[in-house]
């Protein structure tokens, strides 16, 4: 099935969409950094790069903006994020479409990503009246102990191509209500959606008025060198980075070396355990979305399926049929569920992993290239790989739709397999046996930041804290009390008496 979308039409549509969001042509043409759509592989824009001098100036401006923004009452800061949510609602169709064009996501996932931004704005607006500290009993008479949360300073956000705008919003919506400016280095593959998001925020800023200082939010377009400026600058006390473990290791060390704080959301190698009591119809649907949704390019994508031997063969047979028939195609010219890989490197990485799986004794179904829009774009049939053991590529994250299937006999063995990889982002169990469910959720169960029941590991809501352990980096973003990472805690001991009792009964009478 050859569907042809001409590159010219994607380029024109991109220009129209960016224009409708208020960008001038100079902002997305005539620059040095070419942007390609994974849908056709063709160049759709060329954006100007941020020079190191301009990046340093943006950091200085953010540091200055911080001095003013931290004094604006938090609920008033929340009003800016409320307006951002409104502008995102108005711009949802356009921004969602741009996500589809620039990241190659299918239409409902492009729109879903913008919905995730709207959701976190709503969450952050409520949060702006709840940045609460504790009061604690003091051991000393006529004393009070309390803690307050104060704004911390500019937050650097380094984001990946696969969630080109939602990840920024998890950080930015919280940072802004917490009183922090935001400096954003988007993936070099997706600067357009970042510029579009900044334009949407600027509409909200305009409506908000002069309480918002200039330089409160900036986009820095460039490669790792620009990201490094954020990572190394002590004026940026918090750096939130999403991407590979390799990148995160460098960021973590450099930020730690200057005693900054990093929030890391790195690689995942997420597994689901399918137990004998699983509802297999539901399991099948959940596995399909978890492993093949977003063409396997979520950090939460299901990559390992650990199946009890009593249901293994039946489930694998059903999965083979789904894998052989799932629709692969252009997100703009079809209703296909699986869109393109982001680029050639992703395709080659996938083929390398499949070859390694074969030499480790795996049996591969699918994984071949599908010609949708010619040589410059990379569509694949998702791959289902049965493996004799958890070795070779199974313990690595390959950012492509490959699902490795492993067999187990006891729940202890299944949990050990689930935990037996360096990454610790997300996990799930399919079971109706409450004992197995609770064991999986217990202290001796899944070691991941996310552990789900009767659903796949991906597609988290914004209300919970998002992130994972081990090589995933330990950061938490989005809901729950993730906001605390964007503020500094101050403990206050207040003496309202006339004497000076010392803690721990220490005497020091002069």
Positions marked active-site: 265
* Residue number, 347 or 399, with CB nearest to ligand UN1: 399
Which of 28, 69, 123, 163 contacts ligand UN1 by CB under 6 A?
163
Q: How many residues make contact with ligand UN1 (CB under 6 A)?
A: 11
Span 166-185, contacts to ligand UN1 by CB under 6 A: 167
Stretch that binds ligand UN1, among 143-151, 292-300, 331-339, 430-438 (CB under 6 A): 292-300
Please, which residue, 316 or 425, has the CB nearer to ligand UN1? 425
* Site track 409-448 with ligand UN1 (rule: CB under 6 A), x = hit: ----------------------------------------
Q: Which residue minimizes CB distance to ligand UN1?
A: 460
Secondary structure (3-state) at 48: coil
DSSP 467: -
Is 187 or 373 the residue whose CB approaches ligand UN1 more closely?
Answer: 187
Task: Output the smallest distance, CB 123 to ligand UN1, in A.
Answer: 13
Minimum distance, C-beta of residue 113 to ligand UN1, in the bound complex (Å): 8
In the bound state with ligand UN1, the residue whose beta carbon lies nearer, of 69 and 170, is 170
Part in contact with ligand UN1 (CB under 6 A); list of ranges 145-153, 162-170, 187-195, 369-377: 162-170
Enumerate the H helices of 293-366 as residue ranges: 309-325, 344-359
81: CB partners within 8 A, 6+ apart: 121, 124, 125, 128, 173, 176, 177
CA torsion through residues 433, 434, 440, 444, sign? negative
Find tokens 């000393």 and name the residue: 140
Q: C-beta of 395: minimal distance to ligand UN1 in Å?
A: 19
Pairing status of strand 423-424 against strand 469-470: antiparallel
Q: Cα–chain-centroid distance for residue 281? A: 29
Residues numbered 110 to 129 that lie near ligand UN1 (CB under 6 A) are 116
Segments in 21-155 forming alpha helices (H): 52-69, 74-103, 107-127
3-state secondary structure of 396: coil
Give me the least distance between CB of 300 and ligand UN1, in Å please.
4
**Which of these ranges, 226-234, 369-377, 415-423, 456-464, lies near ligand UN1 under the rule CB under 6 A?**
456-464
CA distance 190 to 213: 27
Segment interacting with ligand UN1 (CB under 6 A) among 135-143, 296-304, 334-342, 412-420: 296-304
The span from the CA of 163 to the CA of 99, in Å, is: 9
* Nearer to ligand UN1 among residue 37 and residue 162 (C-beta): 162
Interaction of residue 452 with ligand UN1, rule CB under 6 A: no
Does position 458 interact with ligand UN1 (CB under 6 A)? The reply is yes
Instruction: Examine residue 291 and tell whether it contacts ligand UN1 (CB under 6 A).
Output: no
Residues 6+ apart with CB under 8 A from 509: none
- Residues 54 and 368: their CA atoms lie apart, in Å, by 44
Tell me how far, at minimum, the Cβ of 310 lies from ligand UN1, in Å.
Answer: 30
How many helical (H) and strand (E) elements, i.e. helices and strands, does the chain have?
13, 23
Question: Which structure tokens are listed for 294?
Answer: 């977003």
DSSP letters spanning 173-220: HHHHHHT--EEEE--TT-HHHHHHHHHHHHHHHHHH-TTSPTTSEEE-
* Binding segment toward ligand UN1, per CB under 6 A, in 10-18, 223-231, 342-350, 455-463: 455-463
> 147 has which bridge partners?
491
Angle formed by the axes of helices 434-441 and 411-419, to 10°?
A: 30
| Strands of 362-434, DSSP E | 363-366, 369-370, 379-380, 383-386, 402-408, 423-424, 426-430
The distance of closest approach from Cβ of residue 239 to ligand UN1 in the complex, given in angstroms and rounded to an integer, is: 16
Q: Single out the residue of 61, 298, 312, 439 in contact with ligand UN1 (rule: CB under 6 A).
A: 298
Compose the 339-378 pattern: x for residues touching ligand UN1 by CB under 6 A, - for all others: ----------------------------------------
**Among residues 204, 226, 287, 460, the one that binds ligand UN1 under rule CB under 6 A:** 460
Which of 299, 307, 394, 487: binder of ligand UN1 (CB under 6 A)?
299
**Residue 242 binding ligand UN1, by CB under 6 A:** yes
CB nearer to ligand UN1: give 242 or 423: 242
Nearer to ligand UN1, 386 or 458 (CB): 458
Tell me whether strands 383-386 and 402-408 are parallel, antiparallel or unpaired: parallel
Return d(Cα 239, Cα 218) in angstroms, integer. Answer: 14
Q: Which is nearer to ligand UN1, 220 or 450 (CB)?
A: 450
Exactly one of 190, 193, 300, 330 binds ligand UN1 (CB under 6 A); that residue is 300
Q: Over the range 430-462, which residues count as b (16 or more CB within 10 Å of their CB) and which as e? A: bbeeeebbebbeeeebbbbbbbbebbbbbbbeb
* Residue with the two structure tokens 């299918």: 106
3-class secondary structure, 207: helix
Min. distance of Cβ 293 from ligand UN1 in angstroms?
8
Provide the pairing of β-strand 402-408 with 302-308.
Answer: parallel
Give contact residues for ligand UN1 (rule: CB under 6 A). 116, 162-163, 167, 242, 298-300, 458-460
């Amino acid at each position: 099935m050859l569907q042809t979308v001409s590159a010219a039409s994607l380029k024109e549509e991109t220009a129209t969409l960016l224009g409708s969001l208020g960008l001038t042509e100079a902002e997305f043409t005539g620059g040095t950094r070419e942007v390609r759509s994974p849908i056709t592989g063709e160049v759709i824009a060329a954006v100007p790069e941020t020079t190191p001098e301009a990046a340093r100036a943006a950091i200085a401006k953010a540091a200055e903006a911080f001095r003013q923004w931290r004094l604006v009452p938090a609920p008033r800061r929340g009003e800016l994020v409320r307006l951002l949510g409104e502008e995102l609602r108005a711009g949802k169709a356009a921004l969602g479409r741009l996500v589809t064009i620039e990241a190659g996501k299918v239409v409902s996932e492009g729109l879903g990503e913008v919905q995730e931004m709207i959701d976190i704005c709503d969450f952050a607006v409520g949060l702006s009246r709840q940045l609460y500290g504790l009061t604690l009993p003091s051991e000393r008479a006529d004393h009070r102990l309390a803690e307050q949360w104060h704004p911390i300073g500019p937050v650097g956000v380094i984001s990946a191509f696969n969630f080109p705008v939602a990840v920024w919003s998890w950080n930015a919506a919280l940072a802004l209500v917490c009183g922090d400016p935001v400096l954003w280095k988007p993936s070099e593959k997706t600067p357009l959606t970042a510029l579009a998001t900044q334009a949407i925020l600027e509409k909200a800023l305009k409506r908000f008025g002069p309480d918002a200082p200039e330089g409160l939010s900036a986009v820095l377009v460039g490669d790792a060198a620009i990201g490094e400026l954020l990572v190394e600058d002590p004026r940026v006390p918090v750096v939130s980075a999403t991407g590979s473990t390799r990148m995160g290791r460098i960021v973590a060390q450099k930020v730690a070396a200057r005693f900054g704080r990093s929030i890391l959301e790195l690689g995942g190698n997420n597994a689901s355990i399918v137990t004998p009591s699983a509802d297999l119809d539901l399991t099948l649907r959940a596995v399909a979305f978890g492993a093949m949704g977003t063409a396997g390019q979520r950090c939460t994508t299901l990559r390992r399926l650990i199946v009890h031997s009593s249901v293994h063969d039946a489930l694998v047979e059903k999965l083979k049929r789904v894998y052989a028939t799932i629709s692969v195609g252009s997100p703009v010219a079809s209703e296909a569920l699986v869109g393109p890989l982001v680029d050639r490197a992703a395709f080659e990485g996938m083929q390398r992993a499949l070859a390694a799986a074969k030499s480790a004794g795996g049996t591969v179904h699918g994984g071949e290239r599908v010609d949708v829009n010619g040589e410059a774009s990379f569509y694949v049939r998702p791959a289902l790989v049965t493996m004799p053991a958890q070795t070779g590529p199974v313990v690595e994250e390959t950012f492509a739709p490959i699902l490795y299937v492993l067999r187990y006999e006891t729940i202890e063995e299944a949990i050990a397999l689930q935990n037996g990889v360096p990454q610790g982002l997300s996990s799930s169990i399919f079971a109706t046996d409450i004992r197995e469910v609770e064991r999986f959720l217990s202290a001796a169960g899944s070691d991941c930041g996310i552990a789900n029941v009767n659903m796949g590991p991906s597609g988290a809501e914004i209300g919970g804290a998002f992130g994972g352990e081990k090589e995933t980096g330990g950061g938490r973003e989005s809901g729950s009390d993730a906001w605390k990472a964007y503020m500094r805690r101050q403990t206050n001991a207040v003496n309202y008496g006339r004497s000076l009792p010392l803690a721990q009964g220490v005497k020091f009478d002069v």
